[in-house]
Chain A
């Protein structure tokens, strides 16, 4: 063993270095004032909100064709290079009532309607049980098939919980006012809805059970290049804004009301509360009539900010940085940030940023309210660089700016 063992330095291309040594790669970039994705520190990705895919929606503004489609709302956005499609579909369930109220006796039907009216007047509190959410399924397309990955599961649960906690979708928006398909004096089939005109007798619309919609969202992400929570939420919001819920009617022709109830009670459908719209029951969605989904506040946008401290050990020397036009981000950042404070990076993109940034702040501000209480959610993940009070304040400020921009765009 007379040869000396020598370590030869190996060099890697930037993409490989970002994968194997993300902290090193990111710190070197930051010390010169650039980001690996070449945006400046507080520059967000450009968002393009594309027009709706009219051809797949069931109810479109063109009063168009596809009444066979089950898609109630959709959106198509491009965030940087990432493209996201979101479609909203729905089902309906029976609203479960207490045993003593769901009585077969006709007089009891009236009690149900009386009671629910009383409830609406008394419940001014905004407890979570008065709000609904959407059940999202995210697919991040990477050329793989199989069960959802951890990331997909976590994002779909985050969207589900955030939507519920933000109280955007009141339960009344999803409640169905059943119409009725019947025959008029001349034996023609007509479909009538409650509140359409004053002539119609409201006693016609007293049905034994109440129903409400359940909404599902399917979100597909193409070309993922970083955390996609912000973009996925935006796609979901825009899809919900465009969602049209069907008008639903009860077809009385097929069978007797009472027979219907007893046959339903023997089926599994009662336990699950899901009503099969095809066989047995006569609850049908109108092929052309629809109404908009009413949202409390559809201008809520989420913003994720990454926090990272500049580490002097990794800094790279480049002459004349201060005067060079290309490195202006560095000087801007120095003026707004104190020594020792972490750098704020908007819209984390790329392997280096995603793996090296340990601390994040996720903010959802409410820009439509005049109230002081204008924050809906703030999540702070520490453990990487230290999260300081100033950085939280700056993140909230950036989130508000971003939300206002997105509001103008959408």
Chain B
């Protein structure tokens, strides 16, 4: 499913975005750099607080796990030493999630929660990028995320499917209009080394395509901000 996004949806947040992708809708609000609590202060860099709230219910350990995945690479993308002893808060609220098969058993609910982690992360990461740019927080490189699946027959498909032999979430960083480095890759299922590298390579191409779309949206949003100049 195609990505649909809006930038600057929250009035009170420094930067915000709303992204719909693959049946999942996420709104991201970014605040900061702002004053840190004493236990959060880091002397030479900023402290990154990522909070994910699920579509239904309260945050659980599952969301903590997702937050950790995002924090890992986001720390290396944000130019932390420009904001020492300050906090940047990234809030991600999942508004809509993929419909589970309306099965009667709780079996499918449980496994669906684990399966959906990658899909939700995919949407969250793209949303976080747009919101970071909107919030005017300095970043080293642009980034975006794509998800691929290998079917049982062995073909590589973009976007997640229910019946998959393996799933691959790929996040690339983009610098000087080129794919610069692999920031995060999560590959689960049953796959070979060859399949892994094919997925990573495909990820590079799709990353550039998605980047041009996200760039278009960001440029439009910046134009809106400076509309009074015209």
Chains A and B come from one and the same complex: yes
CB pair B111–A129 under 8 Å, yes or no, is: yes
CB pair A95–B105 under 8 Å, yes or no, is: yes
Q: Tell me the minimal C-beta distance from A338 to chain B in angstroms.
A: 17
CB pair B114–A98 under 8 Å, yes or no, is: no
CB pair A379–B183 under 8 Å, yes or no, is: no
Report how far A99 CA is from B105 CA in the complex, Å.
11
A375 CB contact (under 8 Å) in B61, B64, B191: B191
Report how far A392 CA is from B168 CA in the complex, Å.
15
A389 within 8 A of B: yes
A165 in contact with B188 given A154-B65, A383-B75, A383-B183 (CB within 8 Å)? yes
Q: How large is the interface on B (under 10, 10 to 19, 20 to 34, 35 or more residues)?
A: 35 or more
A60 within 8 A of B: no
A378 within 8 A of B: yes
Report how far A358 CA is from B76 CA in the complex, Å.
8
Name B129-167 residues within 8 Å CB distance of A: 152, 162-163, 165-166
Report how far A153 CA is from B188 CA in the complex, Å.
20
**In the complex, which residues of chain B have a beta carbon less than 8 angstroms from the beta carbon of A389?**
197, 200
B5 within 8 A of A: no
Name B75-115 residues within 8 Å CB distance of A: 75-77, 103-108, 110-112, 114-115
**In the complex, which residues of chain A have a beta carbon less than 8 angstroms from the beta carbon of B75?**
383
Name A338-360 residues within 8 Å CB distance of B: 358
1/0 per residue A110-132: CB within 8 Å of B?
Answer: 00000000000000010111110
Chain A residue, CB-CB nearest to B165: A373
For B110, B112, B194, the residue with the greatest tally of chain A CB atoms inside 10 Å of its CB is B110
B184 CB contact (under 8 Å) in A375, A376, A382, A386: A382
Q: Chain B interface mostly helix, strand, loop or mixed?
A: helix
A384 within 8 A of B: yes
A171 within 8 A of B: yes
Report how far A385 CA is from B213 CA in the complex, Å.
28
Q: Tell me the minimal C-beta distance from B16 to chain A in angstroms.
A: 24
B115 CB contact (under 8 Å) in A128, A158, A374, A396: A128
**In the complex, which residues of chain B have a beta carbon less than 8 angstroms from the beta carbon of A262?**
none
Q: How large is the interface on A (under 10, 10 to 19, 20 to 34, 35 or more residues)?
A: 35 or more
Name A205-222 residues within 8 Å CB distance of B: none
**In the complex, which residues of chain A have a beta carbon less than 8 angstroms from the beta carbon of B105?**
95-97, 129
**In the complex, which residues of chain B have a beta carbon less than 8 angstroms from the beta carbon of A387?**
181-182
CB pair A165–B162 under 8 Å, yes or no, is: no
CB pair B185–A161 under 8 Å, yes or no, is: no
1/0 per residue A86-108: CB within 8 Å of B?
Answer: 00000000011111000000000
CB pair A382–B73 under 8 Å, yes or no, is: yes
Q: Tell me the minimal C-beta distance from A47 to chain B in angstroms.
A: 25
Q: Tell me the minimal C-beta distance from B42 to chain A in angstroms.
A: 12
Chain B residue, CB-CB nearest to A151: B68
CB pair A396–B193 under 8 Å, yes or no, is: yes
Chain B residue, CB-CB nearest to A128: B111
Task: Work out how many contacts link A and B, with CB atoms closer than 8 A.
Answer: 116
1/0 per residue A146-177: CB within 8 Å of B?
Answer: 00001001101110110011000001000000
Report how far A129 CA is from B114 CA in the complex, Å.
10
Chain A residue, CB-CB nearest to B117: A161
B190 within 8 A of A: yes
Chain B residue, CB-CB nearest to A383: B76
**In the complex, which residues of chain A have a beta carbon less than 8 angstroms from the beta carbon of B104?**
96-99
Report how far A182 CA is from B54 CA in the complex, Å.
49
Report how far A328 CA is from B196 CA in the complex, Å.
33
CB pair A393–B61 under 8 Å, yes or no, is: no
Report how far A232 CA is from B144 CA in the complex, Å.
32
Report how far A301 CA is from B14 CA in the complex, Å.
44
B186 within 8 A of A: yes
A379 in contact with B65 given A128-B114, A164-B114 (CB within 8 Å)? no
CB pair A381–B72 under 8 Å, yes or no, is: yes
Name B24-66 residues within 8 Å CB distance of A: 61-62, 64-65
B61 CB contact (under 8 Å) in A95, A133, A153, A379: A153
Q: Tell me the minimal C-beta distance from A363 to chain B in angstroms.
A: 10
CB pair B192–A383 under 8 Å, yes or no, is: no
CB pair A375–B76 under 8 Å, yes or no, is: no
Q: Tell me the minimal C-beta distance from B185 to chain A in angstroms.
A: 4
A129 CB contact (under 8 Å) in B72, B108, B183, B193: B108
B23 within 8 A of A: no
B195 within 8 A of A: yes
A157 in contact with B188 given A378-B196, A396-B193 (CB within 8 Å)? no
Report how far A128 CA is from B188 CA in the complex, Å.
12
B187 within 8 A of A: yes
Residues of A within 8 A of B (CB): 95-99, 125, 127-131, 133, 150, 153-154, 156-158, 160-161, 164-165, 171, 273, 358, 366, 371-384, 386-387, 389, 392-393, 396
Given A358-B76, A378-B196, A384-B76, list of 11 further CB < 8 A pairs?
A129-B105, A150-B64, A154-B65, A157-B62, A165-B188, A171-B107, A273-B106, A382-B73, A383-B72, A387-B181, A387-B182
Q: Which 4 A-B pairs have the closest CB atoms?
A: A383-B76, A128-B111, A380-B185, A157-B65
